[in-house]
Amino acid sequence: MKFFLPSCLLIFFGLLFCGCILPQPDHVPSRPINSNLSVNVSTNTFVPLIPFDSSCKSCQYLNKDGICTNYDCCFDSDCSAGYECTSNRCIPISVADTKNSTPIADSKDNSTLMPASNFSTISSCINLSVSGPPTEKLNIIFVPSRYYTDLSQFLIDANLFRSTLLNFSFYANNSAKMNFFALSEADSGDGCMTVSGTPSCNISNVKSHAHRACSYSQERGDQLVVLFDNSAVNTSYARGEVDDDIVFIGSYGSSVFVHEFSHSFGNLADTYEGYWNNTANPIAANCASEVPGFTCEEKWGDLIGTGEGDNRVGCFRNCHAENWFRPTSGGDIMYNAYDLFYDPVSLRHMERMMSGYR
């Protein structure tokens, strides 16, 4: 059973903000800078491992070798009689209609998703990089929001976020276990909006949209990343929600993406100092308490003394709550979004999470 972890970061001059406040980056100089963002912090610029090639035609995608490759289809007219184009593949109409005519049960949260016919737009699924069958891989699906005029910019942004994740050593070492996809069209029925810079969506609608386009399945652990176009709407906060395996983030927020993804996929807690006592038990792998069953010794006692310097494992008071404990004094990416590593406790946990994929 997963649980919701609020995403907060101590990222600027020691001030604590609820959610990740996104800095203004320098990686998209041609796009207007959003003057409403709360913090202006210089960030690292990541170069995509496989750059998106804007010269690809509209019915092509960039494969993992960086070559423009034709889809099987993009329109129903591309298919033979009796077939329709679904997720860029020609599928018999009778099968496609049956597949999409009933609600999709999500056993993970016991909710019922809306049928795809309730959506105003039917998207295609773009392969950003594919390592193997979706049934064996960790599938990460980027969803566009508020890209009103230029969806090609969304594909550039999605590739930037993909490369940001793969530039983090843990994910680079596990890249063969991961697939990356993007929806080719936004859906006006997704209910996405921002309030005071905080993004949110109708999550059931987003899931249904992703299922219709990319065969998304929360049951097998697929991850959704909703990208808000910062040039169109102020999205100055980001958050990862573990219960729904989803990240909401602005296009300028690549520098905090791995932190938020570590919430949604890894179920890791924030470990920076908090100024309150938490009466709940720390279920996340990287926080402990004095309550039997949740102590440092019980959760990571076999790792105590390993590591070096600030990354040496022990039991250090304050893990997002004053009465909780974190594994190291210096923390890791869950303590500071710009520390691009996991501490030994979090790393072991993430390796276990990734072990279920091939």
For residue 102, pLDDT over 70 is answered with: no
For residue 169, pLDDT over 90 is answered with: yes
Predicted pLDDT of residue 187: 74
Query: pLDDT tier at 31 (50, 70, 90 boundaries)?
Result: very low
pLDDT tens digit sequence for 331-345: 899 999 999 999 999
* Dihedral angle of Cα 1, 349, 245, 182, to the nearest 10 degrees: -150
Query: pLDDT tier at 185 (50, 70, 90 boundaries)?
Result: confident
Angle at alpha carbon of residue 1, lines to 281 and 139, rounded to 5°: 125
Predicted pLDDT of residue 76: 72
Predicted pLDDT of residue 150: 72
pTM over the 0.75 mark = no
Decide: 316 and 327 in contact? Cβ < 8 Å.
yes
301 secondary structure, DSSP code: G
Decide: 323 and 289 in contact? Cβ < 8 Å.
yes
Per-chain mean pLDDT for the chain? 77
Q: Which of 48-62, 151-165, 259-273 has the lowest mean pLDDT?
A: 48-62
Is 119 or 218 the better-scoring residue by pLDDT? 218
- Map tokens 């409403």 to a residue: 36
Nearest of 163, 158, 131, 161 to residue 143 by alpha carbon: 158
For residue 201, pLDDT over 90 is answered with: yes
pLDDT tens digit sequence for 203-240: 999 999 999 999 999 999 999 999 999 999 999 999 99
Q: Which of 21-30, 207-216, 315-324, 333-342 has the lowest mean pLDDT?
A: 21-30
For residue 319, pLDDT over 50 is answered with: yes
Q: Which domains does the chain have, with CATH numbers?
A: 8-71+125-264 (3.40.390), 271-358 (no CATH)
Q: How far apart are CA 36 and CA 24, in angstroms?
A: 10
Total Cβ atoms within 10 A of residue 274: 18
Question: What are all long-range contacts of 166-175, with beta carbons under 8 Å and residues at least 24 apart?
Answer: 166/49, 167/46, 167/49, 167/340, 168/258, 168/333, 168/340, 169/340, 169/341, 170/342, 170/347, 170/350, 170/351, 171/258, 174/138, 174/354, 174/357, 175/131
Q: Specify which of 24-38, 190-204, 314-328 reaches the highest per-range mean pLDDT.
A: 314-328
